[in-house]
């Protein structure tokens, strides 16, 4: 589904990301972990053509991301709050995204209604603009909006951060369900090793812009990751 070759991003000689080769097959739930500045958000930004690669390219379903816009109809994402339109209510925002993705109001309503327990009664019918919601609630709205319109690729940056424990657990089951039952390719990044190992079939560790580990998740993965990060901390 997503192939990355010889990709690098430099800011004034400083290389922030360098990935020789990375293939993410369709329907995989893919986790990206790494310390601050490891290049997680840079990779996602490149994937969404928000920044320009210095070398190499990413192909999303055989579409060259930085040359064509054809990847947009089947890709959706939530990176940070700048993906929200602050002066809309959550409903209006969902409908807006729905309209962009060719869904009518009823479609959007049907999808959103599945997440009523995820929202915990704090998102819908609040008569509040998104900019007035708390950070956690903003995130919930953004994540659900990324699920509108049956995307084949979903990219979520730090989806667990800022969420309360109940919602974190619910989000995990949502993400698992997407990849397992619906064949959606889900890419997430996280600092929370436990959550990532719970959710993702495959975990890639980035360090200073390079891939240092590429693991198929098993029972030992969490331990291995913990050992890795504890070690790199000591050095």
Partner 1 sequence: MIKQFIRLEWKQFFRASYFQKGIAIKILLVLAALYFGGAALMLGVGLFFIAKKAFPDIDPIVTVNNFIIYWFLFEMVFRFFMQQLPVMNVKPLMTIPIKRNTVIHYLLGKTSISFFNFLAIFLFLPFCVVLLVKGYAIVNVLCWFLSIVFLTLSVNYLNFLINKNNTIFYIIAISLFALIGLEYYGIFAISQPIGIAFNTLYNQPYLMILPLLLVVGLYYANFVYIRKGFYLDDAVSKKIKEVNATDLSWMDRFGNVAPFLKNDVKLIWRNARPKQVMMMSFMFLFYGLIFYTQDAYKDMPAFLAFASMFVTGGFLMSFGQLVPSWDSEYYKLLMSQNIPYRQYLESKWYLMVFAVSISFVLSIPYLYFGWKIFGMIAAGAIFNVGLNSFITLFGGALNRVPIELNVKAKAFSNTNGFNPTQMLIAMPKILLPIILFYIPYKLISFEAGLIAIALSGVLGIVFKNQIFKFIEKTYQKGKYKTIAAFAEKS
- Work out whether 13 is an interface residue with partner 1 (CB under 8 A): no
- Work out whether 122 is an interface residue with partner 1 (CB under 8 A): no
| Contact residue for partner 1 among 20, 25, 68, 87 (CB under 8 A) | 87
- Work out whether 77 is an interface residue with partner 1 (CB under 8 A): yes
**Smallest separation (angstroms) from partner 1 to the CB of 47:** 9
**Smallest separation (angstroms) from partner 1 to the CB of 170:** 24
- Work out whether 37 is an interface residue with partner 1 (CB under 8 A): no
Q: Using alpha carbons, list the distances in angstroms from residue 115 to 109, 148, 229.
A: 10, 12, 34
**Smallest separation (angstroms) from partner 1 to the CB of 179:** 21
Q: Given the rule CB under 8 A, which of 27-35, 125-133, 177-185, 201-209 is the region that contacts partner 1? A: 125-133
**Smallest separation (angstroms) from partner 1 to the CB of 112:** 16
- Work out whether 84 is an interface residue with partner 1 (CB under 8 A): yes
| Contact residue for partner 1 among 19, 30, 31, 49 (CB under 8 A) | 49
Applying CB under 8 A, the residues found at the interface with partner 1 are: 48-52, 69, 72-73, 75-77, 79-80, 82-89, 91-92, 96-97, 99-102, 127-129, 131-132, 149
């Amino acid at each position: 589904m997503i192939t990355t070759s010889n990709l690098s991003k430099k800011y004034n000689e400083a290389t922030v990301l360098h990935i020789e080769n990375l293939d993410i097959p369709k329907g995989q739930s893919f986790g990206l972990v790494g310390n601050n500045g490891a290049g997680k958000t840079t990779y996602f930004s490149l994937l969404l053509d928000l920044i320009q690669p210095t070398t190499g390219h990413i192909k999303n379903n055989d579409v060259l991301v930085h040359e064509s816009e054809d990847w947009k109809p089947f890709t959706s994402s939530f990176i940070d709050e700048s993906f929200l339109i602050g002066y809309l209510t959550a409903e209006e925002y969902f409908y807006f995204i729905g309209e962009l993705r060719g869904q009518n109001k009823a479609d959007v309503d049907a999808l959103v209604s599945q997440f009523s327990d995820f929202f915990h009664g704090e998102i819908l019918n609040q008569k509040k603009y998104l900019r007035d919601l708390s950070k956690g609630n903003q995130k919930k709205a953004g994540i659900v909006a990324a699920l509108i319109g049956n995307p084949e690729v979903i990219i979520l940056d730090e989806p667990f951060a800022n969420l309360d424990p109940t919602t974190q657990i619910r989000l995990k089951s949502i993400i698992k369900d997407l990849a397992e039952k619906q064949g959606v390719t889900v890419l997430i990044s996280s600092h929370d090793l436990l959550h990532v190992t719970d959710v993702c079939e495959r975990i890639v560790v980035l360090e200073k812009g390079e891939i240092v580990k590429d693991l198929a998740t098993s029972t030992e993965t969490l331990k291995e990751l913990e050992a890795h990060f504890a070690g790199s901390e000591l050095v």
